[in-house]
Each structure stands twice: as structure tokens, then as C-alpha cells.
Structure 1
Amino acid sequence: MSNSTWTLVPLAECVTSVRAGVSVNSEDRPHAAGEVGVLKTSSVSGGVFKANEHKAVLAGDRLRVAEPVLGGSVLFSRMNTPLLVGEACYVESDHPSLFLPDRLWQIRTEPSRVDARWLAYVLQSTGVSYAIKALATGTSGSMKNIAKRSLLASNILLPPIAEQRRIAEILGALDDQLRVAGQIVNKLRTAKNALRSALYCDESGVNWNRDWPLMALRSVVTRIDAGKSPDCPDIPASSGQWGVLKVSAVGRDHLHPMENKVIPSHVHVDPSSEVRAGDILMTRANTPDLVGMICLADRSFDGHLVLSDKTWRINLGKSLDPSFVVEMLRASPSRRYIQNVATGTSGSMKNFSQMALLKMPVPVPDQSVQQRTAEYLSEMTTRIDAEEEAINKLRMAKEGVLSDLLSGRIRVPPESLS
């Protein structure tokens, strides 16, 4: 089937309005009844609208808010990091108590000509997304901005409205499958957290298991290694190159080796800071929720990775099982301790010292108990990994379908358009 009925048009011909909100003073908490909220830029992420990602607007600024979130619109991140600028999502329904900041645009269309859900998918598609990101400007390496004129001048392929709607339905069905799969993973994570609490904590879930002896972490740690953070381009190292870990490399379940920056060839690398299989890695500086994240280097990686100045390697004595320690440092008493000792004047970045970490009281049961405890949680992690692998496969399938449908390589059958 030919796509001769499709036309190449500037985005300006597809929208009726592009409006931003205003910057207001707010508190980093959800708004309460009778209050209003302003969206964070993180409310537009991965093609999904996350209404819970907002801040409560202070009373003195409530009359200044503008542009409420409307159903049937597309939200677009006009200012963000180089990776996230240009993110877009569709909004299903009105959110009268939520308003846009100045960094987000709300795009409206004429429904009889352009389906807003279809347009959101177009803006998320790889080719269009790359082209839009290329329009972003800014002298800061951490923040880029897209001009409205540039966005509206971008060209897209416009099919007939009936075909737009059918394409949106097909892609929406795949998104529904991804959403259900994500809910399964979230339930498994909740179950794992509950199991960890039952194993490591007393019945309150606040304090350590009373049957296990406590001692300072320093008594079972032989050494903590740290690295350096040279000035590196924000691209991952290739095979044979050296890369320095980002804090995002330390995931909640595993090491993410691709989260690194390639080290220029002229920079000296200390080989003693190279990450080895089985290393226990921890972030000493990050956002309040993520500071102290910990994982085992349990996934293979091609190339050479080194610690940064924000990541530590924790070396243990022979009396502790590494997997037991990692789960112990994820347990609520450890998280509460780390968040209490973490310091920093910035609300977005906290850090803590080796001395503070080594003072932390931790449980040290017999090695047989350690191994059995770690095995219980490892079984849960394996189930989560399997579900996430299925999600990744479904996401890749969706990307292929999205590309084929939005480019016209595969056309929706005419009989399905009635």
C-alpha cells in the first residue's frame, strides 16, 4: 500500500498552540488538598506522563501559576539535560490542580486533523527525537534548550487522521502491555523489600534482627578504595578503552557497565582503581534518595572501568559474604543511617565520609546464616531480572513497530480504519 496520501509538513501546521507555564516557588513534596502543584521536568520521562512528579506551590505563589495540565494534550520538555531535552508524552485526562513550569510546553492540536496521542508517538520516535535534540542549544554541558521556532519548523510525515488514530491505538496497546509488565516488576520489588526486612530486621522493620550480633562496619571491612574523576566526554568507553564510572552505574540490583565516560588517551589511569568482577561498589555522593546506593560488580563488561571520586570499592574480611553485605546495606536501618549522616548544602546532592560509614553498626551472623539469607534474596532478584528482560524485549519490539508505522514502511490495513 502506497503512502502517497501522507504529506511532509512542518510541525507548525499540526498544532494549534504551544504554551509554557511559569517558574514558581515550591516545596519538594506532593501538594495536599486545597493546594496546587507545579510539574517537575521528570514528569515527562520515557514517553510517559508521571503526575506524581510535581512540587507543592507555596501559598504566596498560587495565584501566579499558569497553564493547567489538560487531557488530550502533549507535554514537551523544552529545557533539560542533553539526554532528556525534547522528551514528550501524551496526557490522558485533565489534572486541574497541576500546572506547567517554564521548562515544559503543552502542545494542543485540532483533533479533526491531528491526533494528539499519535503526535506524542511521533515526537518520541528515534528519527524525529534525534532531529529535535540536535536543535537544542546552550553553553552549559548539563542543560540544553530548544527554541519554539525551531521546534515548529521541524518536518514530520502526516498521514490521514483515521490512520493516525489506528496507529495510536496499536502503539497504545503495546504500552498497556508494558505498563502491566512494569506493575508485575514493582510488585516483585515490594515483595523483595518485605523479605529483606523480615530477614534483616526485627518485627518493627526499623531495627536490626535481635538474634544477630552487632558490630561497627570497620571491624569487618579491610579497606575502602576510591578513584578520581578526570574531565571526560559523556560517551561510554569502547572495547579496549578505559572508562570512569558514573554514579548511575551503581544500580539497585546490578552494576550497569555502560554508565561510564571514556577517559581520553592522554590521561593517566591508576590501574589499582580498576573495577573487578565481584567488587562491592557504593556511591558516596548522589541525590538524597540515591546516596549510598550499592551493588556487586556481577555483570560482565568489555573494556576497563575505574572508580570515580564518587564511587567506592568496599573490601571485606573473610568473615562476611559479599552478597549478604550488599543486601544488608540496602536494608532500612542502613539506608536510614546513611541518609542521616549524609551532608551537603545542596538539596539535590548529598555525600558522606568513609569514617561515617565505618562507624555504622551492622549485624554479623554466622557465615551459614549469611549465605542462606543472601540466597533467599538472590532468588527474588532472579525473578525480577527475568521479568525485566521480558520488558526489554517488548520495548524493543515496540520500537520496531513504532518506526515502521510512523514512517509508512508498514501501513495499517484499510479495513481496520473504518
Structure 2
Amino acid sequence: MSGEVPDGWREVRIGQIAREVSIRNDGSNDIPVLSMTKHRGFVRSNEYFSKSVHSENTGRYKIVKRGQFAYATIHLDEGSIDYLKNEDMGLISPMYTVFETNPEEIDSAIALQKFKRFALSGRFSPYSNGGVNRRKSIIFRDLSAFKFALPPLAEQRAIAEVLSAVEEAIAKTKALVDALIATKNEILEDRLRISTQAGWKICRLRDVATIRTGISKSKDRQFKDPLSVPYLRVANVQDGYIDLEEIKMITIEQDQLGRYSLQKGDVLFNEGGDFDKLGRGCVWSGQISPCVHQNHVFAVRCKPKLNPEFLALLAASRKGKAYFRLSSKQTTNLASINTSDLRSFPVLLPPMDEQLKIAAIAKTFDQRATAERASLALLVEMRTALSQELLSGRLRLPDSIIARHRGTAGKVV
């Protein structure tokens, strides 16, 4: 640990406030099997993945109880550690380490934030299990040696209260975005059903658009006339919008710029990746110029009979997603489509005025969702900054807030 310990705080090792727990399953089939996800923490495996992704034999699985922590022993990062909140008990893969903290020493929410900060700072990165792939690994004995500054329990719970208020605002904003998108989708599904009943024709995408593949990245390529330009990756193409928070650069030949440059109105489709990324379609509005796209992102350029916004909505519809899912080549958790699959995508083709009406309905929801996503980004940024300041002691809460928690100090809450 570096830096001075804030006034009234004390320096502790993780091993002083936590201990490893290793209880194996006794063969019970009544305990739910859990998985760890980056953004949601513990989830029931079958419900989250809609299928069984764990071993049929859970005899070696570890039991984790409410309030106990677990982390991925191999490749520990900020997304692979959490404590159990929503279940009384669960089973977790033997690849995880389970431990519990002393509730009279540290608040669980504060403990989680401290552990995540260690992971984010890279302090776990020097550890390796020495295996064939030299994957990062950290056992609890090593983890227990890490030191950090710990405020009194009342101040911990005051900090947790403040951070929880921000988390609640983030959750509500996320829920609002989800509700806007869900409402939009239901309205559009209803409109598309009416369109189908009206007898409007269906054609293949190849008949009303051209499909363009992207440029592949090569570290060893030699360039005669190099040009560095922004390029879009799969991560930038979200479900219904473009995420421009992180735009990377790629080097191409100067004379390739025209071939791979995106044009305003191009509809971007992901070749694959995780199931939720498959076939994502959204319209490029020319936010960056010039800008190219990688080979895992298709750019579809509509002909006059097809509106780009309407095409993106078709791809996001239930039938659109079902088409890509059924057409894809699938592995355990990944799927991909090729150019032929995309060219054969069935396009419902109502008159242009109807396409524009449907696109306009979607736009009103999308504009509100975009505004809420901007608010969400600010809240997340505030949470990060506030967490860093409060957990380091650089920012101290007023005693009026801390005093509310002095009566609970030493009690499990």
C-alpha cells in the first residue's frame, strides 16, 4: 500500500478481515448453480444462459452462502468478483475461490469496492499459475497479503449509503432505457404484423441493397502509402445505436480509403461474436469522417426502394433476430453469419411512405433513449470519481451522515 493512511483510518491486510471458505457440494440437486457475469455479478446459470452451461456432475462444486464472496481464481478482474446478495445459497464452479469477510470489521459493499479497485489497478496482474498458457491466477493466501486503508465501520456504511444512492440512480436510468426500447419494439412488432397482413411483398436483401465487407487488421502488413484512419469494431455496433466512446485507429493504403469508407445511411451489421451481438443492425450517421469498418462488421448500402432506418428495425425485430440466429454457425457461446446469410436476409418491403412512418415512430423512442444513455454515462462517471475519492479518504463525508450509522456499528446489516 502506498500513501498515507487518512486520519482515523487504519491499515489492514485482507487476511485480517476475511477468511477462505471451501465447502463442497454433498450431492444435493436442490441448490441452484450460479455463474459470475461482468455486469450483473452472480446469476443463476440456467436462467441467464437459457441453457445448462455447467458440468452435470456438481459434486466438486463449492457452496457459496448469502454474504460470502467468490472470485475467479484464474484471471481475477473487476468483473469476476462479487458477494452473494439475492440467494440464500448457491453452487459455484471449483475454479472459483470462496471467502467471507468479518461483518464487525468491514461492510460487504465497501469490501467489494476495495477488491474491485485492486483488480482495476493491476495489483493482481503479477500472479501466474505457471500453467501451459501462463494464465493469471491468484490464490487466497496471496490475496490475503494485500493491504489497504480501512475507515471505521460507521464511516464505511455512510460511504456505502452514498454510493448506493448513485447505484440506484444508475439502475433506474438503465431500466428506463430498457423500457423505452421494449416499448418501441412492441409498437414496431405490432406495426410489422399489420404490414404483413397488408400483403406487402418480401424480397431478399441482395435485391434492394449492396453488402460491403470491411478491412482486416494485420500487424505484419507493409504499406506503400500508409494512412491512419478511425475504424469501427464489433464493440462499437450496439443494438440500435453506435457507441463512439472508444474509437481505434487502423493503418490502410491511401487508395483503399474510398473502398472501405462508410457513407451516411450505411446500415452496419455485426458478423458475430456473443449471441447478443449477432446481426446487430444500426444506421451510420456520418459522425466521423473519414471512417472505415473492420472485416467483422458488414456495411449495407440501401437502394432507393429501401429506407436504412427501416432495414435496421427489421434486423432488430423478433423475426430478424430469429433469422440470424437460425442462419448462424454456432459454437459453445459464439455465433457468426457470413455474406451469403446477410444477402439472403428476408426484407419486408412496404411502400416508402410506410417505411418512413415506421422509422419516425422508432426515432422518437431512440432520441429519448439516447438522451437517457448520456445521463447514464454521466452517472457512471460520477460513481467512479466519487468511489475513488471516498474509498481513498481524499474526500470525507460530513459527520452528520456518518452519525446515522454509529448505532449500527458492530452489527450485521
Name the TM-score class by shorter chain.
Answer: 0.7 to 0.9
Q: State the distance in 2 between where 1:255 and 1:128 align.
A: 29
| Number of aligned residue pairs | 385
CA RMSD between the two structures: 3.4
Q: Secondary structure at the match of 1:63?
A: coil
Q: Which moved more, 1:127-136 or 1:173-182?
A: 127-136
Could you tell me which residue of structure 1 aligns to residue 325 of structure 2? 339
CA contact (8 A) 2:22 2:62 kept: no
Cα separation, partners in 2 of 1:121 and 1:195, compared to 1, 3 Å: same
Q: State the distance in 1 between where 2:111 and 2:34 align.
A: 21
Question: What pairs with 1:178-257 in structure 2 (closer than 5 Å)?
Answer: 178-202=170-194, 208-221=196-209, 223-231=210-218, 241-257=228-244
Higher relative contact order (CA 8 A, sep 6+): 2
Cα separation, partners in 2 of 1:46 and 1:291, compared to 1, 3 Å: closer
Q: Alpha-carbon deviations, 1:93-135, whole Å to 9, x = none?
A: 4442x3112443333111111222211122234x762233544
Cα separation, partners in 2 of 1:136 and 1:177, compared to 1, 3 Å: farther
CA contact (8 A) 1:78 1:103 kept: yes
Structure 1: tracts of 5 or more residues without a match: 25-32, 234-239
Could you tell me which residue of structure 1 aligns to residue 409 of structure 2? none
Question: What pairs with 1:31-180 in structure 2 (closer than 5 Å)?
Answer: 36-42=31-37, 45-46=38-39, 48-51=41-44, 52-53=47-48, 56=52, 60-68=56-64, 70-80=65-75, 84=77, 87-96=80-89, 98-125=90-117, 129-132=120-123, 134-135=125-126, 137=128, 144-148=135-139, 149-180=141-172
Please say if 1:324 is aligned against 2:306.
no
Cα separation, partners in 2 of 1:86 and 1:384, compared to 1, 3 Å: closer
Q: Secondary structure at the match of 1:253?
A: coil
Q: Alpha-carbon deviations, 1:183-215, whole Å to 9, x = none?
A: 22222221111012012225xxxx945442222
Match of 1:396 among 357, 361, 381: 381
Q: State the distance in 1 between where 2:57 and 2:388 align.
A: 43
TM-score of the pair, normalised by structure 2: 0.81
Structure 2: tracts of 5 or more residues without a match: 221-226, 407-413
Q: Secondary structure at the match of 1:393?
A: helix
Could you tell me which residue of structure 1 aligns to residue 268 of structure 2? 281
TM-aligned CA deviation for residue 146 of structure 1:
3.2
CA contact (8 A) 1:47 1:89 kept: no
Letter in 1 for 2:234: V
Cα separation, partners in 2 of 1:20 and 1:241, compared to 1, 3 Å: farther
Q: Secondary structure at the match of 1:64?
A: coil
Cα separation, partners in 2 of 1:106 and 1:404, compared to 1, 3 Å: same
TM-score of the pair, normalised by structure 1: 0.80
CA contact (8 A) 1:255 1:297 kept: yes
Q: Alpha-carbon deviations, 1:215-258, whole Å to 9, x = none?
A: 2222111x21112322469xxxxxx9435433222101212234
Identical aligned residues as a percent: 19
Q: Alpha-carbon deviations, 1:340-380, whole Å to 9, x = none?
A: 11124x22222223223222332111111111110000101
Q: State the distance in 2 between where 1:335 and 1:184 align.
A: 23
Could you tell me which residue of structure 1 aligns to residue 411 of structure 2? none
Cα separation, partners in 2 of 1:58 and 1:156, compared to 1, 3 Å: closer
Q: Secondary structure at the match of 1:327?
A: helix
Q: Alpha-carbon deviations, 1:46-91, whole Å to 9, x = none?
A: 47544454664778513332223x222333344359xx56643343
Could you tell me which residue of structure 2 aligns to residue 294 of structure 1? 281
Q: State the distance in 2 between where 1:209 and 1:80 align.
A: 52
Q: Secondary structure at the match of 1:61?
A: coil
TM-aligned CA deviation for residue 34 of structure 1:
5.8
Structure 1 residue ranges, 4+ long, deviating more than 6 angstroms after superposition: none
Q: State the distance in 2 between where 1:260 and 1:124 align.
A: 26
CA contact (8 A) 2:34 2:43 kept: no
Letter in 2 for 1:160: P
Q: Alpha-carbon deviations, 1:370-409, whole Å to 9, x = none?
A: 1111000010111111222222222222222212211111
Q: State the distance in 1 between where 2:213 and 2:92 align.
A: 41
Match of 1:311 among 297, 313, 317: 297
Q: State the distance in 1 between where 2:219 and 2:191 align.
A: 42
